[in-house]
A and B are shown apart, each in its own frame.
Chain A
Amino acid sequence: QVQVVQSGSELKKPGASVRVSCKASGYISIGYGMNWVRQAPGQGLEWMGWINTTTGYPTYAQGFTGRFVFSLDTSVSTAYLQISSLKAEDTAVYYCAPSGDYFFKYWGQGTLVTVSS
């Protein structure tokens, strides 16, 4: 059974950085992508992009370039989302979800990032 476990909630001040981790265990198809999805308070789901777990190559959706970085540590099967120069509008729940196919069967539990002074 696949499990996807994310790091806990974060409270950060504007201008700071945050790193969210996402560990996948169990069988997932070779060469899967780890996707990141943002959900702002009271809003819908927004696909941020993904990182190829075989090549480490990241792809960012429009609006998520520059301050957002996807990375991997394959030795511990963990993906990371780093957001720098945090702004109040980055306050959201961030989900990771592996995609071996063209849908998201498994999801992390979500990580709430709150940006407030």
Chain B
Amino acid sequence: QSALTQPASVSGSPGQSITISCTGTSSDVGAYNYVSWYQQDPGTAPKLMIYEVNNRPSGVSYRFSGSKSGSTASLTISGLQAEDEADYYCSSYTTTNSWVFGGGTKLSVL
């Protein structure tokens, strides 16, 4: 199972919106609505931000939203804040009963 494809880095200014894409195949992202997104600060465990494409766990800011079209999922962060600077990973359940992660995207808040 190949890793999902994410841009290596994205950046934005405070208050702006950014979108991180996550491209897979018909065997993972395109197969189910089981895409999730994780935020990871240096030296800490990943934190679930979005599950099942567009659902936010309790406690996650409304500024985080997810979507999917075909085999590409997206994470949008609106009203960018300095605290959003982190690495972001997408993940998908697959048709072989396994999980696959994206390569990760480093978000810089300028």
Contacts and interface: CB of A to CB of B under 8 A. Distances in A.
B21 to A, nearest CB: 15
A47 B32 CA distance: 18
B38 A45 contact: yes
A102 B93 contact: yes
A101 B46 contact: no
Interface string B69-103: 00000000000000000000101010001111111
Question: At the interface, is chain A mostly helix, strand, loop or mixed?
Answer: loop
B45 A44 contact: no
Interface of B: 1, 3, 32, 34, 36, 38, 40, 45-48, 51-52, 57, 89, 91, 93, 97-104
Interface of A: 35, 37, 44-47, 49, 59, 61-62, 95, 99, 101-105, 107-110
